[in-house]
Amino acid sequence: MEIREVCRDKDICGGCVYQGVPYEEQLSNKFGEVKGLLDKKDIRYGELLPIEGAPSRYGYRNKMEYTFGDMEKNGPMTLGMHKKKHFMSIVTVDQCQLVHEDFNVILRGVLEFASSHGYTHYHKKAHKGLMRHLIVRRGIRTGELLVNVVTSSEDGFDENAFVEMIRALPLENQVVGILRTINDRLADAVYCDELRVLWGRDYYNEEILGLKFKVSAFSFFQTNVDAVERLYSYAVSLIDDFENKEVFDLYCGTGTITQVLARKAKEVIGIELVEEAVEAAKANAALNGLDNCRFLAGDVFEVLDSLPDKPEVIVVDPPRVGISSNALEKIIGYGVKQIVYISCNPKSLADNLYYMQYYGYEIKSVKPFDNFPGTKHTECVAVLEKVKK
């Protein structure tokens, strides 16, 4: 794998905890954390398989959300990430190694543009100022870029000049959309009160496992495309036989794995809380010509409780908090032979496996995946089978 110098901002940026740590040591630490959490919960797994390293340690992130601010009170404007342990300070991260170099070029261009025009950054306490966030998204397979600047509704932002500046940047990838999001909410988070398409379109295209996806400005999408292809391929390979069977994909997001399953299953029902993600999933399924997957919006437990359908296989991919106790009870109550659990948080995975183990499921295997090198995050795939009475 490519080895780079330690990042300039490793001591102040809160993004990477493993800067300067040899990759094999990173993998060993992450594997050890997963094992420790499982053993602490007395999870009786058949196999704890070796951790799968990422295809690339660098340039793998397809989305970044930067914040405008300053490093010191009333200092020059900065644009980047929160400083470690200092919520009010923002570090300009224009040499980040986790993104394609185009992201760094765009960040520098936008910061220079805002500074040269005399724009003010949004002050979290005073709730005044123009510049709030910058979101850059990239299609890894297509080389398409989406640039979205988030401002308050204060007057003075020159939209035409901003478009000209972005389009003139020396980029390797192609900008397909330049957007402006208006956000006047008090919280220090990105909300969309109004979305303006300044140039181009409000989505980019991506491909995963032979499927096509239109990813809109605020749609959730997998952050590391190359790594998630490996993880999903492995997860699907664990299912003994789902051809012509009814499959539930719970916490399905924009329906990536739902559509992978739909290529063999009789029908796949995807359930997701976020309505925008469900609408995106429906559109993408139509784009791929798949008519045997349904997507339902709502809380997983509530949707399952209202469904007359009975699954033969269940795949779950919950958020970091894991599966709620009532949803877990409902899932176990189906008594399906096989459940594949995709986890983005080993701690909540261990908590859920403990419960599932107690109520009649055997954990056949757990395999960790390092989809986010340099950071503390670890993904896992576990396969469970119903114990015969």
How far is the C-alpha of 79 from the C-alpha of 383, rounded, in Å?
42
The DSSP code sequence of 198-217 is EEE-SEEEEEETTEEEEEET
Query: What is the residue whose two structure tokens read 């490093």?
Result: 71
C-alpha triplet 57, 63, 68: angle, nearest 5°:
115
Q: Which two tokens stand for residue 349?
A: 């995975």
Q: Is 344 a catalytic residue?
A: yes
Catalytic residue among 13, 96, 344, 380: 344
How far is the C-alpha of 312 from the C-alpha of 201, rounded, in Å?
41
The string over 116-145, giving b where at least 16 C-beta atoms fall within 10 Å of a residue's C-beta and e elsewhere, is eeebebbeeeeeebbbbbbbbbbbbbbbbb
Name the burial class of residue 193, with classes exposed (0-12), middle (13-18) and buried (19+) by CB atoms within 10 angstroms of its CB.
exposed
Binding residues for S-adenosyl-L-methionine: 222, 251, 272, 317
Torsion angles phi and psi, residue 304, rounded to 5: -60, -40
Q: Is 195 helix (H, G, I), strand (E, B) or coil?
A: strand
Helix-strand-coil split of the chain, %, nearest 5:
25, 30, 40
Binding residues: 222, 251, 272, 317
How far is the C-alpha of 255 from the C-alpha of 270, rounded, in Å?
7
Q: Which two tokens stand for residue 95?
A: 């040499």
Q: Mind telling me the catalytic residues?
A: 344
